[in-house]
Amino acid sequence: MTVCGITAEYNPFHTGHLHHIAETRRSLGENAVIVCVMSGNFVQRGDFAVLDKYARAEMAVCCGADLVVELPLAAALSSAEGFAKGAVQTLHALGCGTVSFGAETADTDLLLQAAELLNSLPMKGESGSPHLSYAARRQEELSKVNKQAAVLLDNPNNTLAVEYCRFLLPLGMRPLAVLRQGAAHDAKAPNSGFASASLLRTHLRAGDLAFCAPFLPPPCRAVWNEAVSRGEAPVLLPEDTLLALLRTARYQGQLHTGSADGFDERLQKAVYAAHSFSDAVEKARTRRFPAARVRRTLLRAVLGIEADAPVSPTYLRVLALGPRGRSVLKTASLPVIVKPVTEKRLPENLQTALCRDAFADDLFALALPNPEQRIGGGHFRKTPFCLR
């Protein structure tokens, strides 16, 4: 049985994602089992997802995925390196022999070459230009040994592709690069029947489903409309709540990462002077400290995720599955959570992370449009979508 993994956020699931799954099946055969590891209610850009994780996973299974499990929270709110490491290790625990990803190039050999070079470079030091971000310094160091490989990192899709390759190599997994079609990452306009997820989120949050409809597969539109009817979408940032929690973290001395580059001091000043979460991000961001890093760090502080929290999975939370996905779960190498109500039966060493997951879902609930949907405990009332 061929089991292939895909890492995604599906925020929301759109025609580009549908193309990726279709191309993966075309490459591996119709009998391949497609396993997706997906960010939960918080995403890598340091934001709340536009729609609840179970609904987004349902979209994916209705559009060709066989199984969707949740990416560990610490990995979801990490840099590309931590995001990829947590994702690849999760897919490995599910028996995936191949990892499929979208990229700006289908040259797998070049991606692997860049990955091997990055693995060989000493990236944790302070080498390189001090005014650049960590990611930019890595690219600068890579360009000294291979300019062609370094150019790959100009694009976020390629950056993640290279990171996936870095972590799948030691595990004996194979990469499958699928050439991206249509609109580029964060593109401000549609292209060739595709639109970027960021553009779709903007229109969905503005209530403009008519604009988004051509770029959302029919099952996704149905899931979205159902969520809107229940008052569960679109999800917006709870700006005041987040700022209050950040002020609390600052007062309690928990707004720190241990960074020696002045980042912590800048965050603390920004939170003190800001009038909202987004304003704190704007006040803290610089060329060296990009907005995505600032947002992730602030959300990690709100959620109590330590700077050195491991991104590797210790359990597998099922969000949606189809008939073929059930067979994969039978051979998983980590504890599998299908119904959250069973979590308390799991070993004591998992309980801290499980409690944090529940808190994260309760915080996410405060961003739902319908006030009656904002009550706590939703984490234990949700169950995976099952496609029969």
Q: Is residue 13 marked as binding?
A: yes
Residue 20 is labelled as binding a ligand: yes
| Residue 11 is labelled as binding a ligand | yes
pLDDT band at 130; cut points 50, 70, 90: low
pLDDT > 60? residue 61 = yes
Residue 235 vs residue 143, higher pLDDT? 235
Q: Is 157 annotated as a binding residue?
A: yes
Q: Is 286 annotated as a binding residue?
A: no
Q: Is 19 annotated as a binding residue?
A: yes
**Residue 282 marked in a binding site:** no
CA 88 to chain CA centroid, nearest Å: 12
295 is in an annotated binding site: no
15 is in an annotated binding site: yes
Residue 258 has pLDDT above 90, yes or no: no
203 is in an annotated binding site: no
Peptide bond preceding 290 in cis form (omega within 30 of 0): no
Is 347 assigned to a binding site? Answer: no
Residue 92: both structure tokens together? 């490995």
Q: What is the pLDDT of residue 123?
A: 54
Is 12 annotated as belonging to a binding site? yes
Q: Is 41 annotated as a binding residue?
A: no
pLDDT tens sequence across 204-243:
999 999 999 999 999 999 999 999 999 999 999 999 999 9
Q: What is the pLDDT of residue 126?
A: 47
> Mean pLDDT, the chain, as a whole number?
93
Q: Which tens digits make up the pLDDT trace of 323-379? A: 999 999 999 999 999 999 999 899 999 999 999 999 999 999 999 999 999 999 999
Amino acid identity of residue 342, one-letter, is: T
Is 16 flagged in the annotation as binding? yes
Q: Mind listing the pLDDT tens digit for each residue in 76-105?
A: 999 999 999 999 999 999 999 999 999 988
Q: Which residues pair with 337 in a beta bridge?
A: 317
pLDDT band at 184 (very low <50, low <70, confident <90, very high): low
Q: Name the region of 29 (left: φ>0; alpha: ψ -120 to 50; beta: rest).
A: left
- Residues 176 and 161: their CA atoms lie apart, in Å, by 10
pLDDT of residue 124: 52
Question: What number of CA atoms fall less than 13 Å from residue 75's CA on the CB side?
Answer: 27
